[in-house]
Amino acid sequence: MSVFFSGRYAQLEPYTPGEQPQDRRYIKLNTNESPFPPSPGVLEAVREEAGRLQLYSDPESRTVTCALAEHYGLQPDQVLVGNGSDELLNFAFMAYCDDACPALFPDVTYGFYPVFAGLNRIPMIEVPLREDFSVCIDDYLDLKGTVFLANPNAPTGLALSSAEIERMLKARPSYMHVIDEAYVDFGAESVLPLIHRFENLLVIQTFSKSRSLAGARLGFAAGQAPLIRDLNTLKYSTNPYNVNRMTSAAGTAALKEDEYYRRNARIIMENRAWTAGELKRLGFTVTDSRANFLFAACPELPGEKYYLAMKERGILVRYLKGPRLKPFVRITVGTKQQMETLIRETETLLKTEAATHA
């Protein structure tokens, strides 16, 4: 970094995105993107809007905001769209944490949470997951601060029930709870309906995963109107035109073609179940994921070794560093053909390893 870089950020450890190598064609199972393209209506809406790029986008993003409100049975003032869910998560850290109210989140979770805390100079408490990698609500009930929970969690894929989260909301009425539902459409239970009853709940979702719009950058937050006003204060203090015209059009069109995306999510869940069964057959430990990825470990192959070996074979999986994560890799669930290739190459790799050590 330069000599001009502010000392307040000198110790900041930035988030590391999944690699996007350009040296060859890979089967990309490392960044939890959808293997399916956007629906035809989305592509047409983007083409139409591309001809209006000389004009600023609507700072209120009214069309997609109203479409989201109608889709989820909310009022428009209970919804805020953002430049991906990451922007909205950052707003939530800014809005609901300070020196007197630390950020609380699991010690194994989405890697951006500690980055947001560091960026905003917010104290944080990382609450250890249980031995089976599950989140236990009881571990949070006596802590002071704002809770941030990815549900399903990343990279484990494990999910809490709506009833468990409701229990936490009731037990901690004086503190905010931000539930990050990036992967909720792959078999978990959303707590969006609870926002009508709890003023201390903010739910954040994304169009990147189940709606095939990772490259468009669109997320939304839902909560009672005062919470959305909080986030709008921060939005209008940073980037009023935070969602571009083509992304807004894409999001609106995606909601109109919801069955296309629901069908794709069902296929991904079927492929997830098949792949988990095959990995277990090969000796892997696999968590009960409710996301569009699997969290898996093989006794014969540490996570980094498996990742490197698969990369050599043209398949990218995600290796996440950390003491508890060393044995594991995170594998995005793709098409059936992609998953069959993964299993075939894994089986070949294991046979090669066995022969080497025979």
Alpha carbon distance 228, 197 (integer Å) = 15
Query: Are 339 and 316 a contacting pair, CB within 8 Å?
Result: no
Alpha carbon distance 233, 255 (integer Å) = 27
Can you tell me the mean pLDDT for 41-68? 97
pLDDT value, residue 356: 77
Can you tell me the mean pLDDT for 32-45? 97
**Model pLDDT for residues 284-294, shown as the tens digit of each residue:** 999 999 999 99
**Model pLDDT for residues 188-221, shown as the tens digit of each residue:** 999 999 999 999 999 999 999 999 999 999 999 9
Strands 124-127 and 146-150: unpaired
DSSP string, 169-194: HHH-TTS-EEEE-TTGGGT----GGG
Return the percentage of the chain with pLDDT > 90, whole number. Answer: 89
Report if pTM > 0.85: yes
pLDDT value, residue 49: 96
Can you tell me the mean pLDDT for 234-257? 98
pLDDT value, residue 354: 75
Report the range of poorest mean pLDDT among 9-13, 105-109, 205-209, 221-225.
9-13
Can you tell me the mean pLDDT for 59-65? 98
Reported as a pLDDT band with limits 50, 70 and 90, residue 3 is confident
Percent of the chain as helix, strand, coil, to the nearest 5? 40, 15, 45
**Model pLDDT for residues 248-264, shown as the tens digit of each residue:** 999 999 999 999 999 99
Alpha carbon distance 190, 181 (integer Å) = 7
N residues, the chain: 358
Reported as a pLDDT band with limits 50, 70 and 90, residue 358 is low
What residues does 297 pair with on adjacent strands? 285, 328
Query: Are 297 and 280 a contacting pair, CB within 8 Å?
Result: no
Alpha carbon distance 112, 105 (integer Å) = 11
Reported as a pLDDT band with limits 50, 70 and 90, residue 300 is confident
